[in-house]
Amino acid sequence: MAFFYPTVSTWRGRCLHLEDLYVKPSHRRSGIGTRLISSVCAAATVAGCDRVTWQALDWNTPAVKCYDRLGAVQLKEWLDLRLEGSEVARVAGMGPGPRVRSTETAAASAVGASAVAIGGKRSRSWLASVGKPSLAGGRGVSKTAFTAGVRLAAASKPSAK
């Protein structure tokens, strides 16, 4: 299973982010993961994206080796950053602790940031052309995401060479 969604880069324009790639343990090391990534890259090409990004856990040596064989570049200069739970609300000015800004300003900024990230109606049309969008969100801010129609049945076996 491959779950990915469109993103926008200020440097590259349209991109896809591969959020999750999962192959059942009994089917690993048979080329299924590589075929799934290939399908994600095909969807990116059709959508006019020339960048696909994803993350890998450093301890997942077989996956990292697979990505190396594909030519993926490990970005050593970029740090992954995250806010979770109450920290998200605090930074938005809606939770306990020192407020970063007022609730109204935070909500307006969130909606504005969402519009910038999605790019308005024109960008939504390209999102719809790449996959069936589904909306999921909360507090009035929605996130557009889609899944690839790329699934290999657990019972399927890779073709013999």
pTM, 2 dp: 0.61
Question: Are the C-beta atoms of residues 152 and 136 closer than 8 Å to each other?
Answer: no
Q: What's residue 93's pLDDT? A: 86
Kindly report the CATH number that applies to the domain delimited by 2-82+122-147: 3.40.630.30
Residue with tokens 């993350």: 55
Q: How far apart are CA 112 and CA 106, in angstroms?
A: 10
> Between 12 and 143, where is the model more confident?
12
- Please name which of 107, 109, 146, 119 lies closest in space to residue 9, comparing C-alpha atoms: 119
Q: Tell me the domain boundaries of the chain.
A: 2-82+122-147
38-77, pLDDT tens digit by residue? Answer: 999 999 999 999 999 999 999 999 999 999 999 999 999 9
Q: How far apart are CA 49 and CA 6, in angstroms?
A: 9
Which active-site residues does the annotation give? 67
